[in-house]
């Protein structure tokens, strides 16, 4: 049997290089530019800095490792990606430098799987090269993450499709060169057979980014999540991604990977929050002793460590299962369970660290407040936590069947009687010897 918690030495060397590179070369970018990852890279001065960093990653053969060699990656499985991403998760800029930034990774994956050769040349290759940014435009204002109530329509008109409707929280739309848009092409069947995806260049007439919605700490209309009106947007029939009616299957391919990758990076974020907590506990003197000697703070540290370790091992287990099964659907309930835990663990650990840092922890001079809000956001992205809980429960319940008797199957009187019958011969012999 194989049961091992060691990393092979050759790959551990890669992880050690990544750790040092992120700490010494990339985390300073976080201090310099914060989380302005998508608007800054287009600036000339920024490009001059991050371009050589990307090349160093390529030289180490660590660029876009989630993709196969035919697409410029290393074809790493999810387990190796998990070990990498928990390091990259410490920094807002690290995924961009390593070619693994969301939503581009998921978008690249589905174009690689479902795109034509022409689509790959036009959209995928520049995306993989890091020359452009993409957007996944699925969520709708009235429907949230429920595709069954989507109303954005695409209607065939000769050699073109005409798209009309609204999309909400289309991340990175303002910087994207193209959008992947989920539409309803056949409203007379269930959405799982009636939705279709299209590749839409953002400069197509009729694509109107009405507002750039930000998160809670960002100025109004200066965020990265677009409210988009598609007003008679015409695209060639060749812009269809996959086949007509295949959007839902494509979305599941994309979202399954995205959810586990979010969890992988969250391991790194929680570890960073714990590192900050421990440093503060050893540095701050108040009420007669350092914080590290306060029992409440010790509880914070112990609880955080235990939660991170449990979460990390679960993430690694799910990544291993994906590699083994080679089918996101077969691991659906485990991915959903990890998705449920991701915002909880992040919130818990960051909240404790923020509390120990006091007023400073709530300011914009430390990353904790932004991380704390990120935990709330993580409970919504790629489907709300409540939906994933339902998925887990339904999948787990399939392993069981009802007990049709009056009493539960673990009812002790019945089990005692069954045990007496099973061992009756021996029990009678024992009584006879008394």
Residue range 61-81: mean pLDDT, rounded: 85
Kindly report, residue by residue over 134-170, the tens digit of the pLDDT: 999 999 998 777 788 899 999 999 999 999 999 999 9
* Cβ-based neighbours of 108, under 8 Å, separated by 6 or more: 64, 67, 71, 124, 127, 128, 134
Percentage of the chain surpassing pLDDT 70?
95
- What pLDDT band is residue 268 in, cutting at 50, 70 and 90? very high
> Domains in the chain and their CATH numbers?
9-115 (1.10.540.10), 134-241 (2.40.110.10), 249-397 (1.20.140.10), 404-434 (no CATH)
pLDDT of 230 > 80? The answer is yes
Question: Does the model's pTM come out above 0.95?
Answer: no
First to last CA, the chain: 48
* pLDDT score of 349 more than 70: yes
Count how many Cα atoms sit within 13 Å of the Cα of residue 18 in the half-sphere of its side chain.
28
Q: Which distant-in-sequence residues (6+ apart) come within 8 Å of 385 by Cβ?
A: 339, 340, 343, 379
pLDDT of residue 240: 97
CB neighbour list of residue 161: distance below 8 Å, 6 or more residues apart: 154, 155, 183, 185, 198, 234, 235, 236, 237, 239, 240
User: Whose CA is closest to 64, among 128, 112, 131, 136?
Assistant: 128
Measured between alpha carbons, how far is 224 from 431 in angstroms, rounded to an integer? 80
- Per-residue pLDDT, 40: 55
Alpha helices in 129-246 (DSSP H): 191-194
233 near 204, Cβ under 8 Å? yes
pLDDT in tens, 388-397: 999 999 999 9
Residue 355 has pLDDT above 90, yes or no: yes
């Amino acid at each position: 049997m194989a049961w091992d918690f060691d990393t092979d030495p050759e790959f551990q060397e890669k992880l050690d290089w990544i750790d040092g590179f992120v700490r010494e070369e990339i985390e300073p970018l976080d201090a310099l530019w914060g989380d302005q990852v998508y608007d800054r890279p287009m600036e000339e001065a920024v490009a001059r800095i991050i371009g050589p960093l990307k090349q160093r990653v390529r030289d180490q053969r660590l660029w876009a490792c989630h993709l196969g060699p035919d697409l410029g990656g290393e074809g790493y499985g999810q387990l190796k990606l998990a070990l990498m991403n928990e390091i990259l998760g410490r920094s807002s800029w690290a995924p961009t430098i390593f070619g693994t930034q969301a939503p581009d990774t998921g978008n690249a994956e589905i174009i690689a799987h479902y795109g034509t050769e022409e689509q790959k040349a036009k959209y995928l290759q520049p995306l993989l090269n890091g020359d452009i940014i993409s957007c996944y435009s699925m969520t709708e204002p009235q429907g949230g993450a429920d595709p069954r109530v989507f109303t954005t329509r695409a209607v065939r008109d000769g050699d073109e499709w005409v798209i009309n409707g609204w999309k909400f929280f289309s991340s990175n739309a303002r910087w994207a060169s193209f959008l992947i848009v989920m539409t309803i092409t056949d409203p007379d069947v269930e959405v799982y057979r009636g939705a279709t995806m299209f590749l839409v260049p953002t400069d197509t007439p009729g694509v109107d980014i009405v507002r750039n919605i930000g998160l809670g700490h960002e100025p109004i209309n200066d965020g990265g999540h677009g409210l988009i009106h598609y007003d008679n947007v015409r695209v060639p029939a060749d812009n269809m991604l996959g086949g007509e009616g295949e959007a839902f299957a494509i979305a599941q391919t994309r979202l399954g990977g995205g959810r586990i990758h979010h969890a992988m990076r969250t391991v790194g974020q929680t570890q960073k929050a714990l590192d900050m907590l421990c440093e503060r506990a050893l540095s701050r003197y108040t009420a007669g002793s350092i914080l590290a000697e306060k029992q409440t703070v010790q509880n914070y540290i112990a609880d955080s460590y235990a939660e991170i370790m449990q979460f990390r091992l679960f993430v690694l287990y799910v990544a291993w299962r994906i590699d083994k099964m080679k089918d996101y659907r077969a691991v659906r309930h485990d991915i959903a369970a990890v998705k449920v835990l991701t915002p909880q663990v992040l919130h818990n650990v960051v909240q404790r660290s923020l509390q120990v840092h006091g007023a400073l922890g709530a300011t914009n001079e430390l990353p904790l407040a932004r991380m704390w809000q990120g935990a709330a956001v993580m409970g919504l992205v790629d489907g709300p936590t409540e939906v994933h809980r339902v998925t887990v429960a339904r999948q787990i319940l399939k392993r069981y069947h009802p007990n049709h008797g009056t009493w539960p199957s673990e009812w002790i009187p019945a089990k005692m009687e069954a045990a007496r019958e099973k061992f009756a011969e021996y029990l009678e012999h024992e009584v006879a010897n008394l």
